[in-house]
């Protein structure tokens, strides 16, 4: 068999293919199931034994050469296509790229992060507690009596007889004290507890069944230099509000009742929108109620395993939604969990 003649014919066929479709045809004729090259390689079996090795070797070499020629021709077509595309203006390498969309942090996360940064810089530690809480930590240990209205089923999501979805972050106060005492309490203790809480509320503009709070607790010795007073509480609250509201604030304390503090306060901030002149946000009063707080009740210290004669503390419980609403001027609490991307995308991209 004259492999030289075949070689020339096949290479010529590859070279003659004018475009990639023609090349695909030529390839099928040569390498398809009944292709000529394949036939040549197979024909080795019809030869006498002695002739087979030399023929097989030559046939395979020829097959590889033609395959390489097909691949090279295909490359040529691809390169030519790219040049055509670039020259034809279909692709403009100077165009700016399409920017991949980036997520934004949820506004509650933004404010929570800032508060955590602030409080940790003041020496507070971050504590977590369970969202499924016991009646004991959520109520009893916090000096909330059995007949207190807050326990009723219209406020609390009860799970079983003794378990519930925590209605506030305050239960972590007693959990933290108990743990600290177990580990050999060394005052002072300063913790914050950011977390999710739940109440069986009818949802409207200002009420949600799921929301976020940040609890704070500071406990130190009652006697000696380290005694904690209401002045420390006010200073801490002012610092905290100045940071999250991004402006200097004036505050005032009013008496407020919470079973786990004595005395208890409602801390109001001078309305940042009208500077105290009166506007719809502060309902014309010039003040906005923002931060319930107080001096830790002796019964809470006792539940935590501390002697109230020896130790004293203050606590606060901030509603994060409320702070975020004030800071960004949001007037509907349902936005936070509504999942509307247009709402969320308004907040700045923040990477930490
Ligand atoms: N736990 C209270 C609530 O959810 C808020 C609160 C009030 C927390 C006074 C405190 C505090 O630590 O001292 O309504």
Q: What is the mean pLDDT of residues 310-317?
A: 96
Instruction: Tell me the CA–centroid distance for residue 317 and ligand 1, in Å.
Output: 4
**In this structure, what DSSP letter does residue 51 have?**
G
Among 104-113, 119-128, 175-184, the minimum mean pLDDT is found in 104-113
For residue range 88-111, list pLDDT tens digits in order. Answer: 777 777 888 888 877 889 999 999
Give the per-residue pLDDT at 349. 67
Give the per-residue pLDDT at 1. 60
Where residue 55 falls (left for φ over 0; alpha for ψ -120 to 50; beta otherwise) is alpha
Q: How confident is the model at residue 244 (pLDDT cuts 50, 70, 90)?
A: confident
- Whether the predicted model's global pTM rises above the 0.85 cut: no
| Longest pairwise C-alpha distance within the chain | 112
Instruction: Tell me the CA–centroid distance for residue 45 and ligand 1, in Å.
Output: 93
Q: What is the mean pLDDT of residues 219-226?
A: 86
What are the C-alpha distances in Å from 319 to residues 50, 85, 206, 322? 94, 59, 12, 6
Owner of token pair 């000096």: 143
**In this structure, what DSSP letter does residue 170 have?**
T
Q: How confident is the model at residue 12 (pLDDT cuts 50, 70, 90)?
A: very high
Q: What is the mean pLDDT of residues 185-192?
A: 94
Is 84 a residue whose pLDDT tops 90? no
Q: How confident is the model at residue 174 (pLDDT cuts 50, 70, 90)?
A: very high
Beta strands 125-126 and 189-198, pairing class: parallel
* Residue % of the chain over a pLDDT of 70: 98
Q: How big is the CA angle at 44 (ends 41 and 49), to the nearest 5 degrees?
A: 155
Structural tokens at position 42: 């197979």
d(CA 330, CA 196): 20
Contact of 322 with 115, CB cutoff 8 Å: no
- Nearest CA residue ID for atom 6, ligand 1: 317
- Nearest CA residue ID for atom 12, ligand 1: 316
For residue range 28-57, list pLDDT tens digits in order. Answer: 999 988 888 888 888 888 889 998 898 889
Q: How confident is the model at residue 245 (pLDDT cuts 50, 70, 90)?
A: confident
Is 352 a residue whose pLDDT tops 70? no
What's the mean per-residue pLDDT of the chain? Answer: 90
Is 216 a residue whose pLDDT tops 90? yes
Q: Which residue has the higher pLDDT, 230 or 87?
A: 230
Among 64-78, 158-172, 272-286, the minimum mean pLDDT is found in 272-286
Q: How big is the CA angle at 190 (ends 189 and 191), to the nearest 5 degrees?
A: 120
Residues in the ligand 1 pocket, defined by CB under 6 Å? 168, 170, 215, 258, 261, 264, 292-294, 315-317
Give the per-residue pLDDT at 66. 92
Instruction: Give the mutation target among 211, 230, 258, 297 for probing the ligand 1 site: most ligand atoms within 8 A of CB.
Output: 258
Is 351 a residue whose pLDDT tops 60? no
**16-20, 181-185, 339-343: range with highest mean pLDDT:** 181-185
Give the per-residue pLDDT at 305. 97
Q: What is the mean pLDDT of residues 214-235?
A: 90
Query: Can you tell me whether residue 262 is helix, strand or coil?
Result: strand
Give the per-residue pLDDT at 131. 98
Phi, psi values for residue 164, rounded to 5°: -155, 170
Contacts of 145 (CB under 8 A, 6+ apart): 259
Specify burial of residue 196 (Cβ count, 10 A radius: 0-12, 13-18, 19+).
Answer: middle
Contact of 289 with 318, CB cutoff 8 Å: no
Q: Give the atom of ligand 1 at the shortest distance from the alpha carbon of 296.
A: 13
- Nearest CA residue ID for atom 13, ligand 1: 293
Q: How confident is the model at residue 235 (pLDDT cuts 50, 70, 90)?
A: very high
Q: Give the atom of ligand 1 at the shortest distance from the alpha carbon of 317.
A: 8
Contact of 43 with 21, CB cutoff 8 Å: no
Among 83-92, 115-124, 164-173, 214-223, the minimum mean pLDDT is found in 83-92
d(CA 334, CA 10): 74
Owner of token pair 């293919």: 17
Is 265 a residue whose pLDDT tops 80? yes
* Residue % of the chain over a pLDDT of 90: 59
Beta strands 132-134 and 287-296, pairing class: unpaired
- C-alpha closest to that of 305 among 219, 225, 195: 219
Contact of 258 with 314, CB cutoff 8 Å: no
- Nearest CA residue ID for atom 2, ligand 1: 317
Give the per-residue pLDDT at 87. 80
Half-sphere exposure of 15 (CA within 13 A, CB side): 7
């Amino acid at each position: 068999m004259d492999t030289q003649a075949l070689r020339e014919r096949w290479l010529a066929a590859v070279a003659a293919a004018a475009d990639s479709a023609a090349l695909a045809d030529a390839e099928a004729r040569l390498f398809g199931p009944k292709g000529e090259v394949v036939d040549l390689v197979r024909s080795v079996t019809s030869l006498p034994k002695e002739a087979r090795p030399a023929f097989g070797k030559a046939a395979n070499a020829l097959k590889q050469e033609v395959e390489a020629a097909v691949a090279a021709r295909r490359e040529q077509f691809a390169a030519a296509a790219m040049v055509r595309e670039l020259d034809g203006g279909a692709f403009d390498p100077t165009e700016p790229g399409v920017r991949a969309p980036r997520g934004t942090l949820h506004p509650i996360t933004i404010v929570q992060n800032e508060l955590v940064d602030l409080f940790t810089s003041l020496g507070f530690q971050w504590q977590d507690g369970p969202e499924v809480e016991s009646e004991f930590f959520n109520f009893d240990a916090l000096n909330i009596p059995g007949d207190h209205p807050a326990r009723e089923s219209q406020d609390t999501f009860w799970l079983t007889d003794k378990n519930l979805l925590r209605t506030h972050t305050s239960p972590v106060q007693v959990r933290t004290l108990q743990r600290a005492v177990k580990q050999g309490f060394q005052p002072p203790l300063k913790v914050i507890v950011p977390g999710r809480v739940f109440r069986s509320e009818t949802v409207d503009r200002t009420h949600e069944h799921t929301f976020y709070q940040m609890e704070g607790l500071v406990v130190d010795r009652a006697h000696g230099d380290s005694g904690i007073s209401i002045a420390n509480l006010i200073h801490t609250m002012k610092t905290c509000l100045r940071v999250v509201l991004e402006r200097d604030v004036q505050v005032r304390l009013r008496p407020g009742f919470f079973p786990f503090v004595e005395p208890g306060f409602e801390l109001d901030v001078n309305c940042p929108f009208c500077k105290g002149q009166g506007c719809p946000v502060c309902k014309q009063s010039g003040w906005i109620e923002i931060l319930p707080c107080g001096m830790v009740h002796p019964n809470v210290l006792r539940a935590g395993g501390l002697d109230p004669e020896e130790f004293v503390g203050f606590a606060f419980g901030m509603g994060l939604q409320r702070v975020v609403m004030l800071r960004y001027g949001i007037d509907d609490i349902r936005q936070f969990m509504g999942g509307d991307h247009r709402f969320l995308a308004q907040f700045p991209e923040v990477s930490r």
